[in-house]
Protein backbone atom coordinates (compact mmCIF):
# COMPACT_ATOMS: atom_id res chain seq x y z
CA UNK A 1 0.00 0.00 0.00
CA UNK A 2 2.75 2.38 1.01
CA UNK A 3 4.74 1.55 -2.13
CA UNK A 4 1.77 2.27 -4.38
CA UNK A 5 1.34 5.64 -2.73
CA UNK A 6 4.95 6.70 -3.28
CA UNK A 7 4.79 5.65 -6.91
CA UNK A 8 1.76 7.85 -7.26
CA UNK A 9 3.61 10.75 -5.63
CA UNK A 10 6.52 10.32 -8.05
CA UNK A 11 4.15 10.35 -11.00
CA UNK A 12 2.49 13.56 -9.80
CA UNK A 13 5.83 15.22 -9.18
CA UNK A 14 7.21 14.41 -12.60
CA UNK A 15 4.02 15.61 -14.26
CA UNK A 16 4.36 18.90 -12.39
CA UNK A 17 7.99 19.23 -13.47
CA UNK A 18 7.09 18.56 -17.09
CA UNK A 19 4.40 21.22 -16.96
CA UNK A 20 6.86 23.73 -15.51
CA UNK A 21 9.35 23.06 -18.30
CA UNK A 22 6.64 23.49 -20.90
CA UNK A 23 5.79 26.92 -19.53
CA UNK A 24 9.39 27.97 -19.45
CA UNK A 25 10.01 27.54 -23.15
CA UNK A 26 7.15 29.87 -24.05
CA UNK A 27 8.54 32.88 -22.21
CA UNK A 28 11.80 33.32 -24.12
CA UNK A 29 11.02 36.80 -25.37
CA UNK A 30 9.35 38.17 -22.27
CA UNK A 31 12.43 39.07 -20.27
CA UNK A 32 12.20 42.84 -20.67
CA UNK A 33 8.51 43.16 -19.90
CA UNK A 34 8.11 44.41 -16.35
CA UNK A 35 4.37 43.93 -16.01
CA UNK A 36 1.85 42.43 -18.35
CA UNK A 37 -1.07 42.44 -15.91
CA UNK A 38 -2.99 45.26 -17.54
CA UNK A 39 -1.91 44.48 -21.08
CA UNK A 40 -4.40 43.36 -23.69
CA UNK A 41 -3.33 39.96 -24.88
CA UNK A 42 -3.40 39.36 -28.61
CA UNK A 43 -2.46 35.94 -29.87
CA UNK A 44 -1.35 35.43 -33.44
CA UNK A 45 -1.02 31.89 -34.65
CA UNK A 46 1.43 31.02 -37.37
CA UNK A 47 1.36 28.08 -39.72
CA UNK A 48 2.96 27.36 -43.06
CA UNK A 49 2.38 29.87 -44.58
CA UNK A 50 0.09 32.39 -42.95
CA UNK A 51 -0.60 34.37 -39.82
CA UNK A 52 -4.03 34.34 -38.16
CA UNK A 53 -5.14 37.03 -37.74
CA UNK A 54 -3.06 38.77 -40.38
CA UNK A 55 -4.39 42.16 -39.35
CA UNK A 56 -4.16 43.43 -35.79
CA UNK A 57 -5.95 46.63 -34.82
CA UNK A 58 -5.13 48.46 -31.62
CA UNK A 59 -5.62 51.94 -30.24
CA UNK A 60 -2.71 54.29 -29.82
CA UNK A 61 -1.48 54.17 -26.24
CA UNK A 62 -2.83 50.68 -25.60
CA UNK A 63 -0.61 48.27 -23.76
CA UNK A 64 -0.41 45.06 -25.71
CA UNK A 65 0.89 41.63 -24.95
CA UNK A 66 1.60 40.09 -28.31
CA UNK A 67 1.82 36.31 -28.25
CA UNK A 68 3.01 34.16 -31.11
CA UNK A 69 1.85 30.55 -31.31
CA UNK A 70 3.21 28.22 -33.95
CA UNK A 71 0.59 25.69 -34.95
CA UNK A 72 2.48 24.22 -37.90
CA UNK A 73 6.12 24.72 -38.76
CA UNK A 74 8.54 27.12 -37.07
CA UNK A 75 7.91 30.80 -37.66
CA UNK A 76 8.76 34.16 -36.22
CA UNK A 77 6.87 37.43 -36.18
CA UNK A 78 8.82 40.58 -36.77
CA UNK A 79 7.38 44.10 -36.65
CA UNK A 80 10.36 46.17 -37.65
CA UNK A 81 8.53 49.49 -37.07
CA UNK A 82 8.19 48.52 -33.41
CA UNK A 83 11.48 46.67 -33.10
CA UNK A 84 9.66 43.49 -32.13
CA UNK A 85 10.86 40.07 -33.16
CA UNK A 86 9.12 37.07 -31.70
CA UNK A 87 10.61 33.72 -32.54
CA UNK A 88 8.69 30.48 -32.31
CA UNK A 89 6.40 30.64 -29.28
CA UNK A 90 7.36 33.96 -27.77
CA UNK A 91 5.57 36.95 -26.35
CA UNK A 92 6.25 40.63 -25.92
CA UNK A 93 4.59 43.38 -23.93
CA UNK A 94 4.74 46.82 -25.50
CA UNK A 95 2.84 50.07 -25.63
CA UNK A 96 1.46 51.00 -29.04
CA UNK A 97 2.73 54.57 -28.83
CA UNK A 98 3.14 55.22 -32.57
CA UNK A 99 0.07 55.51 -34.78
CA UNK A 100 0.14 54.11 -38.27
CA UNK A 101 0.26 50.87 -40.19
CA UNK A 102 3.22 48.63 -39.53
CA UNK A 103 3.92 45.59 -41.65
CA UNK A 104 4.96 42.42 -39.94
CA UNK A 105 6.41 39.31 -41.45
CA UNK A 106 7.96 35.98 -40.63
CA UNK A 107 11.51 36.21 -39.32
CA UNK A 108 12.47 32.56 -39.62
CA UNK A 109 13.21 31.08 -43.02
CA UNK A 110 10.46 28.48 -43.05
CA UNK A 111 10.21 27.27 -46.61
CA UNK A 112 8.63 27.97 -49.98
CA UNK A 113 5.89 30.27 -48.67
CA UNK A 114 8.09 32.27 -46.31
CA UNK A 115 7.84 35.45 -48.40
CA UNK A 116 4.03 35.26 -48.31
CA UNK A 117 3.82 35.38 -44.53
CA UNK A 118 2.83 38.97 -44.01
CA UNK A 119 0.48 40.94 -41.86
CA UNK A 120 -0.31 44.41 -40.61
CA UNK A 121 -0.39 46.02 -37.22
CA UNK A 122 -2.73 48.99 -37.38
CA UNK A 123 -2.40 51.48 -34.56
CA UNK A 124 -5.35 53.88 -34.63
CA UNK A 125 -4.98 57.44 -33.42
Own/partner contacts of 14-18, CB < 8 Å, gap of 24 or more, are: none
Helix (H, G, I), strand (E, B) or coil at 66: strand
How far is the C-alpha of 107 from the C-alpha of 38, rounded, in Å? Answer: 28
> CB 93 → Cu ion: shortest distance, Å?
24
> CB 32 → Cu ion: shortest distance, Å?
24
* Segment interacting with Cu ion (CB under 5 A) among 21-29, 53-61, 89-97, 99-107: 99-107
User: Which residues lie across from 33 on neighbouring strands?
Assistant: none
106 near Cu ion, rule: CB under 5 A: yes
93 or 110, CB closer to Cu ion? 110
114 near Cu ion, rule: CB under 5 A: yes
Q: What is the pattern of x (binds Cu ion, CB under 5 A) and - over residues 51-90?
A: ----------------------------------------
Angle in degrees, CA 25, 30, 31, rounded to 5: 105
47 near Cu ion, rule: CB under 5 A: no
44 near Cu ion, rule: CB under 5 A: no
The answer to whether the beta carbons of residues 98 and 123 sit under 8 Å apart is yes
Rg of the Cα atoms in the chain: 18
110 near Cu ion, rule: CB under 5 A: yes
Amino acid sequence: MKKAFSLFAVAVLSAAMLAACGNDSSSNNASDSPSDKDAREITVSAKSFEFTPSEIKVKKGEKIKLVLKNTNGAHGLEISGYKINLTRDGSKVFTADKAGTFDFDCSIMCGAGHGDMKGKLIVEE
